[in-house]
Amino acid sequence: MDLQLVGKRVLVTGASKGIGLAIVRAFQEEGAIVTATARSVTPELKATGAAFVSADLSTVDGPQRMVEAVLAGDSRLDVLVNNAGGGVVPDEAFGDPLDGGDGTWAAGFDLNLHAAVRTIRAALPSLVEARGAVVNISSDSARRPGAEPMPYSVAKAALNAFTRQLAERVAPSGVRVNAISPSATRTNLVTGKDGYIAQVADKAGVDHGTLVASLPKHNGMLTETLIDPSEIARTVLLLASPTMPSVIGANWLVDAGATKVV
């Protein structure tokens, strides 16, 4: 299937590893021109040959300055993928019913909601000119209360609401806005020795590998296996493709059936 992405100019945030890196590779395989952004470049991202702009999108002016740098040489932008997210959970947040104080909540919202809002605000004129597409990477934890940190899950729920409302506002200008909600995916957040699940394992006194293996079933995933980032990337390609003009304001679940609603 020709997704008509050849030559499209694409910006992917949070692209240094995991889902973001898989998205960069997937667009390149379709012939798109990709710019990747993250706090720092990894060897894996550098190997893709994608243009890179360093940015901290959790700051107030980080998204604006990043978009200006990306568009400095060419103001055209066809696709924006807001993948930056996650965050650090301080030790004192464990055992707290609210999963942290004001600083933790503010940091969670800055990275998982405000970064996307600010990046879209800065990029919107170019997206309107191109009649382009926005894909926001959310999480199934926004709908499925579970073990994820509450600030993260609530920020992702807000991102879902923002995605749907923005889709209504900008659709008349030709810009399509959609979201994807993955469940447990094979990323550093889950499998890394410095990731959140490793923190949980340490606090609970259980083996990290054992906890990772049990996570899909615990989440209610019917495949009982972690999702590969490349599957999320393929979904992004579909939502970004001009061949899907009627998909507007959608939130596609890639969660192996973890979200138990009709």
| Active-site residue, selected from the candidate residues 139, 152, 181, 196 | 152
Catalytic, 156? Answer: yes
As a dihedral over the C-alpha atoms of residue 73, residue 75, residue 81, residue 87, rounded to 10 degrees, the angle is 60
Give the list of residues 6+ apart from residue 242 with CB closer than 8 angstroms, or none: 3, 4, 5, 133
| Active-site residue, selected from the candidate residues 58, 126, 138, 139 | 138
20 alpha-carbon distance from chain centroid: 7
Catalytic, 196? Answer: no
Burial 104-114 (b: 16+ CB within 10 A, else e): bbebbbbbbbb
* Helix locations, the chain, DSSP H: 18-29, 43-48, 62-71, 102-109, 115-130, 150-170, 188-191, 196-204, 208-219, 229-240
CA–CA distance, 138 with 42 (Å, rounded to integer): 23
In this structure, what token pair is assigned to residue 140?
């199934």
Give the list of residues 6+ apart from residue 70 with CB closer than 8 angstroms, or none: 11, 35, 37, 51, 53, 77
| Active-site residue, selected from the candidate residues 58, 126, 141, 156 | 156
**DSSP letters of 63-111?**
HHHHHHHHHSS-----EEEE--------GGGTT-TTSS-HHHHHHHHII
* Catalytic (active-site) positions: 138, 152, 156
